[in-house]
Amino acid sequence: MNRIPLQREEPPTWDWAYARSLLPDLLEGLWITVQIAVLGMGIALVLGLALAIARRTRLKIISWPVGLVVEFIRSTPLLIQLFVIFYVLPNYGVRWSGFVCGVVGLGIHYACYASEAYRAGIESIARGQWEAATAINLSRRQQWTSVILPQAIPTSLPALGNYLVASFKDAPLASTITVFGVLGTAQSITGRTFRGLEPYTMAGLLFLAVSVPAAILARNLERRYGYERT
């Protein structure tokens, strides 16, 4: 019996015209991804600071539950948290759009990580700083705003900068809850055309185009405020 040799399918070659035609859709998806990441990190920075302060309170009825929630969220995948917010909460009357769910989910997730960065910065402050602030009769609020946080936040900047970059990489998970960012757009194009070289390559380059400037910004902030503290 004669065997007919199988023909090997040649890998696709890069098509510049096709790649340029995809750019508008991918840029639109990138803008959605950037919005989710930036808004989510905005929530994370504020909520994370509140969580860090709450964990340091002497009231166990506050610090223990907050600590348990922080550890639970840090120990579970962001994808599951997005599913809970988008698919489970509507059963209890909380109905948000996919975009809002993505922002809130990312914000809460990284708030728990940011809280640990803040907490490390706060605990790095020498005890004498607290005692000196108490000795000059500063209120508790003044101690935090005028003495502790101006020293603790610069110490936390390296970790917070890393979380900012990581948030850009996690934001595409919102595609699982009907929000098509740059990666979701690339997947959709590939599913329609069965050609993934250009969409995925360009999606990766666009991620690089926003992640590198974010990393540079975080590094510059670290240098600037680290210098002012010394």
pLDDT in tens, 60-76: 899 999 999 999 999 99
Residue 227: its pLDDT value, please? 43
For residue 219, name the pLDDT band (cuts at 50, 70, 90).
confident
Answer whether residue 138 is part of any domain: yes
pLDDT at 228 over 70: no
Residue 3: its pLDDT value, please? 55
| Token pair for 79 | 């994808």
Q: Which residues of 72-109 are buried (b: 16+ CB within 10 A; e: fewer)?
A: ebeeeebeebbbebbeeeeeeeeebebbebbbbbbbbb
pLDDT at 11 over 80: no
Residues 130 and 95: beta-carbon distance below 8 Å: no
- Using DSSP's 3-state secondary structure scheme, residue 182 falls into helix
Measured CA to CA in angstroms, residue 155 lies from 55, 143, 185, 214, 219 at distances of 18, 17, 38, 18, 12
Answer whether residue 102 is part of any domain: yes
Task: Tell how far CA 181 is from the center of its chain.
Answer: 14
Answer whether residue 205 is part of any domain: yes
Lowest average pLDDT, out of 2-6, 99-103, 132-136, goes to 2-6
CATH, residue 143: 1.10.3720.10
For residue 218, name the pLDDT band (cuts at 50, 70, 90).
confident
Answer whether residue 18 is part of any domain: no
Answer whether residue 145 is part of any domain: yes
**Tokens 């757009």 label which residue?**
185
Answer whether residue 2 is part of any domain: no
Answer whether residue 1 is part of any domain: no
Answer whether residue 52 is part of any domain: yes
Query: What's the total number of domains in the chain?
Result: 1
Residue 10: its pLDDT value, please? 60
What is this structure's pTM? 0.86
Domain of residue 152: give its range.
25-229
Compute how many other C-beta atoms are within 10 angstroms of the C-beta atom of residue 56: 16
